[in-house]
Amino acid sequence: MPHRMMVLEAVITVCIGFVISWWLGHLFYRDRPFVGHSVIQLIHHDPNASFPSNHALGSFALASIL
């Protein structure tokens, strides 16, 4: 039972974090570096907001719960 609670808390924390990230991305919009510079993209990526990083946010949220 305690492990299920920890997993539930981790999922809720990550979901709340992504909502906050989406809100901050609209509030403090910054272009990704490839939008302003002439580069050849090897992997396609949408030119959406680059701040805050969803990877860093998810890692920090999971690390804080664990």
Give 5-32 pLDDT, tens digit per residue. 888 888 888 888 888 888 887 787 777 7
Separation between Cα atoms, residue 42 and residue 52, nearest integer Å: 22
Q: In the 8-state DSSP scheme, what is residue 37?
A: S
Separation between Cα atoms, residue 48 and residue 30, nearest integer Å: 8
Residue 52 dihedral angles phi and psi, to the nearest 5° = -80, 165
**Burial (0-12, 13-18, 19+ Cβ within 10 Å), 61:** buried
More confident residue, 62 or 4: 4
pLDDT of residue 50 exceeding 70: no
